Structure 1
Amino acid sequence: MLLIGKRVVLEYGILTVLFMILLHSCSVQQRTTVRNYPTDKPFVYSNKINIINDLPKDEKKRLTYELENYWDDSLRVRLAQRYLVRYRLNKPPVFDSSNLDRSMNFMKAYLNSQGYFYPNFKDSVFIDTVKDQLRTYVIMDISTGKNITIDSVSYSFQDAALNALVQSEISKSLLKKGGRYTKQVIGDELDRLTNLFRQNGYYNFSRDDLRAVVDTLDKELLQLTLDPFKQAQLITDAAKKRNENPSWDINITTTRNLTDSTGLHQFSFGNIYYYPETKLYDIPDSVRRRTDFIVDTFSTGIMKYKQNVFRFRPMRDHTYFKRGDKYNEADYFKTINTLGQLGAWQQVDAILEPRNNDSLDVHIFLVPAIKQSVATELEGSRNSGDVITGNTLGISMNLTYNNKNRWKQAIQQQTVLRTGVELNLLNQTNNPIFQTFLVSASHTYAFPRILTPFRSWGSSKKIENKKTLLTLNGSYIDRRNFYKVNSCTASIGYEWRTRKRNGDHLWLYKPLNVELYGITRLAGLDDLIQKNPFLQASFNEGNIVSQSLSFISTSTGRLNRNRSHYFRVGIEEAGGLFGLLPGLRNNIYRYIKTETEYRQVTRYDQSELAYRAFAGVGYNYGNDPRIGRTLPFFKQFIAGGPYSM
Structure 2
Amino acid sequence: MCMRLKLAKVKWFSGLFCLIALLTLAGCSEERRTKVVDYPIGKPFMYGNKVVLKGTGTKDELKKLSTDLNNYWDDSARVRKEQRFLLWYRIKNPPIYDSLNIIRSVNFMNAYLNSQGYYYASFKDSIHKDSIGDQIRVNATITINQGKNISIDSVGYQLDDSTLQQLAKQRMGESDIKKGSPYSKQLISAELDRMIGIYRRNGYYKLIREDLYAEIDTTDISLIELTLDPFKQAELIAASARKRRQNPTWNVTIKKRPTTDSSKLTQFKVANIYYYPETKITDVIDSLTTAKGFKEEQHADNYMRFQVGKFKYQPLKEHTFLSKGELFNEESYFKTMNTLGQIGAWQQVDGKIIERDKDSLDLYFYLVPALKQNFTVDLEGSRNTGDIGAGNLFGISTNLSYKNRNVWKRAIQSITNFRTGVELNLNLGNNNSNQQLVQTFNISAGHTFAFPKIIQPFKNWKALSTVDNKRTLLSFNAAYVDRKDYYKLRSILGSWGYEWKKVQRRSDDTWLFKPINVELYSLDTLPGLDTLFLKNPFLRNSFNTGNIYSQSLSYTKTINAANRKSHFIRLGLEETGLIFGLFKGLRNDIYRYIKVEAEYRQTKKWEKSEMAYRAFGGMGYNYGNYPGNKEISTLPFFKQFAVGGPYSMRAWGLRQLGLGSSNTYDSILTSSFRDRYGDMVLEFNAEYRFTMATIAGVKIGSALYSDIGNIWNLKKDPSDPKASFSLSNLANDLAIGVGTGLRLDFNYFLIRLDFAYKVKDPMRTVNGGWMSIKNFNWTDIRSNGREVSNYALQLGIGLPF
Determine if the TM-score, normalized by the shorter chain, exceeds 0.5: yes
| One-letter amino acid of the counterpart of residue 339, structure 1 | L
Please list every run of 5 or more consecutive structure 2 residues that lacks an aligned counterpart in the other structure: 651-795
Is 58-67 or 618-627 further displaced after alignment? 618-627
Deviation at 1:590?
1.9
Whose relative contact order is higher, 1 or 2, with alpha carbons under 8 Å and at least 6 apart?
Answer: 2
Answer yes or no: is the 8 Å Cα contact 1:191–1:207 preserved in 2: yes
Matches within 5 A, 1:176-215: 176-215=178-217
* Residue number in structure 2 paired with 1:487: 491
Which residue, 85, 88, 101 being the options, matches 2:87?
85
Q: C-alpha offsets along residues 292-333 of structure 1, whole Å, 9 cap, x if unaligned?
A: 433332235222334333222111111111111101100000
Would the alpha carbon gap of residues 398 and 37 (structure 1) be closer, same or farther in structure 2, given more than 3 Å must change? closer
* Residue number in structure 1 paired with 2:67: 65
Would the alpha carbon gap of residues 151 and 395 (structure 1) be closer, same or farther in structure 2, given more than 3 Å must change? closer
Would the alpha carbon gap of residues 400 and 557 (structure 1) be closer, same or farther in structure 2, given more than 3 Å must change? closer
| One-letter amino acid of the counterpart of residue 409, structure 1 | R
| One-letter amino acid of the counterpart of residue 142, structure 2 | M
| One-letter amino acid of the counterpart of residue 210, structure 1 | L
Deviation at 1:515?
1.3
Would the alpha carbon gap of residues 277 and 93 (structure 1) be closer, same or farther in structure 2, given more than 3 Å must change? closer
Task: State the secondary structure of the residue aligned to 1:616.
Answer: strand
Task: State the secondary structure of the residue aligned to 1:29.
Answer: coil
Would the alpha carbon gap of residues 205 and 540 (structure 1) be closer, same or farther in structure 2, given more than 3 Å must change? same
Deviation at 1:41?
3.1
* Residue number in structure 2 paired with 1:587: 589
* Residue number in structure 2 paired with 1:468: 472
Distance 1:50 1:439 in 2: 62
Distance 2:30 2:389 in 1: 53
Matched, 1:516 2:517: no
Matched, 1:545 2:549: yes
Answer yes or no: is the 8 Å Cα contact 2:128–2:139 preserved in 1: yes
* Residue number in structure 1 paired with 2:57: 55
* Residue number in structure 1 paired with 2:110: 108
* Residue number in structure 1 paired with 2:413: 412
Would the alpha carbon gap of residues 392 and 285 (structure 1) be closer, same or farther in structure 2, given more than 3 Å must change? same
Distance 2:29 2:268 in 1: 64
Would the alpha carbon gap of residues 88 and 544 (structure 1) be closer, same or farther in structure 2, given more than 3 Å must change? same
Distance 1:423 1:86 in 2: 41
Matched, 1:607 2:763: no
Answer yes or no: is the 8 Å Cα contact 1:48–1:139 preserved in 2: yes
Task: State the secondary structure of the residue aligned to 1:608.
Answer: strand
Is 221-230 or 524-533 further displaced after alignment? 524-533
Which residue, 216, 222, 226 being the options, matches 2:228?
226
* Residue number in structure 1 paired with 2:323: 322
Is 391-400 or 591-600 further displaced after alignment? 391-400
* Residue number in structure 2 paired with 1:238: 240
Distance 1:356 1:295 in 2: 23
| One-letter amino acid of the counterpart of residue 157, structure 2 | Y
Task: State the secondary structure of the residue aligned to 1:220.
Answer: helix
User: Identity rate of aligned residues, in percent?
Assistant: 49
Answer yes or no: is the 8 Å Cα contact 2:216–2:253 preserved in 1: yes
Distance 1:251 1:98 in 2: 39
Q: C-alpha offsets along residues 473-505 of structure 1, whole Å, 9 cap, x if unaligned?
A: 112345565433221011111000112221211
Answer yes or no: is the 8 Å Cα contact 1:540–1:627 preserved in 2: no
Distance 1:212 1:41 in 2: 49
Deviation at 1:155?
1.3
Distance 2:236 2:307 in 1: 80
| One-letter amino acid of the counterpart of residue 146, structure 1 | K
Answer yes or no: is the 8 Å Cα contact 1:371–1:405 preserved in 2: yes
Answer yes or no: is the 8 Å Cα contact 1:350–1:365 preserved in 2: yes
Is 312-321 or 68-77 further displaced after alignment? 68-77
Answer yes or no: is the 8 Å Cα contact 2:488–2:525 preserved in 1: yes
Deviation at 1:179?
1.2
Distance 2:123 2:391 in 1: 71
Answer yes or no: is the 8 Å Cα contact 1:317–1:458 preserved in 2: no
Distance 1:552 1:390 in 2: 33
Is 461-470 or 360-369 further displaced after alignment? 360-369
Distance 2:173 2:615 in 1: 36
Matches within 5 A, 1:3-152: 27-29=29-31, 31-152=33-154
Distance 2:464 2:540 in 1: 50
Answer yes or no: is the 8 Å Cα contact 1:314–1:409 preserved in 2: yes
Distance 1:174 1:433 in 2: 64
Is 69-78 or 525-534 further displaced after alignment? 525-534
Answer yes or no: is the 8 Å Cα contact 1:589–1:627 preserved in 2: no
| One-letter amino acid of the counterpart of residue 369, structure 2 | P
Matches within 5 A, 1:286-435: 286-299=287-300, 301-373=302-374, 375=375, 377=377, 379=379, 399-418=400-419
Task: State the secondary structure of the residue aligned to 1:73.
Answer: coil
Deviation at 1:12?
12
* Residue number in structure 2 paired with 1:277: 278
Distance 2:642 2:423 in 1: 25
| One-letter amino acid of the counterpart of residue 335, structure 2 | K
Would the alpha carbon gap of residues 421 and 49 (structure 1) be closer, same or farther in structure 2, given more than 3 Å must change? closer
| One-letter amino acid of the counterpart of residue 160, structure 1 | S
Answer yes or no: is the 8 Å Cα contact 2:542–2:635 preserved in 1: no
Would the alpha carbon gap of residues 388 and 132 (structure 1) be closer, same or farther in structure 2, given more than 3 Å must change? closer
Distance 2:128 2:36 in 1: 18
Task: State the secondary structure of the residue aligned to 1:303.
Answer: strand
Answer yes or no: is the 8 Å Cα contact 2:541–2:633 preserved in 1: no
Answer yes or no: is the 8 Å Cα contact 1:449–1:458 preserved in 2: no
Would the alpha carbon gap of residues 229 and 17 (structure 1) be closer, same or farther in structure 2, given more than 3 Å must change? farther
Q: C-alpha offsets along residues 67-91 of structure 1, whole Å, 9 cap, x if unaligned?
A: 1111122332322223323333333
| One-letter amino acid of the counterpart of residue 496, structure 1 | W
* Residue number in structure 1 paired with 2:686: none
Answer yes or no: is the 8 Å Cα contact 2:354–2:363 preserved in 1: yes
Task: State the secondary structure of the residue aligned to 1:334.
Answer: helix
* Residue number in structure 1 paired with 2:457: 453
Would the alpha carbon gap of residues 86 and 452 (structure 1) be closer, same or farther in structure 2, given more than 3 Å must change? same
Matched, 1:498 2:499: no
Distance 1:448 1:358 in 2: 33
Which residue, 624, 630, 636 being the options, matches 1:632?
636
Distance 2:394 2:51 in 1: 60
Distance 1:591 1:177 in 2: 53
Using the size of structure 2 for normalisation, the TM-score is 0.72
Task: State the secondary structure of the residue aligned to 1:310.
Answer: coil
The total of aligned residue pairs comes to 638
Task: State the secondary structure of the residue aligned to 2:480.
Answer: strand
| One-letter amino acid of the counterpart of residue 84, structure 2 | R
Answer yes or no: is the 8 Å Cα contact 2:44–2:96 preserved in 1: yes
Deviation at 1:511?
1.0
Answer yes or no: is the 8 Å Cα contact 2:56–2:147 preserved in 1: no
Is 624-633 or 327-336 further displaced after alignment? 624-633
Distance 1:506 1:390 in 2: 37
Q: C-alpha offsets along residues 388-408 of structure 1, whole Å, 9 cap, x if unaligned?
A: 999999887655432222222
* Residue number in structure 2 paired with 1:555: 559
Answer yes or no: is the 8 Å Cα contact 1:382–1:391 preserved in 2: no
Deviation at 1:593?
1.6
Task: State the secondary structure of the residue aligned to 2:584.
Answer: coil
Would the alpha carbon gap of residues 320 and 627 (structure 1) be closer, same or farther in structure 2, given more than 3 Å must change? farther
Task: State the secondary structure of the residue aligned to 1:469.
Answer: strand
Distance 1:234 1:134 in 2: 53
Distance 1:195 1:460 in 2: 23
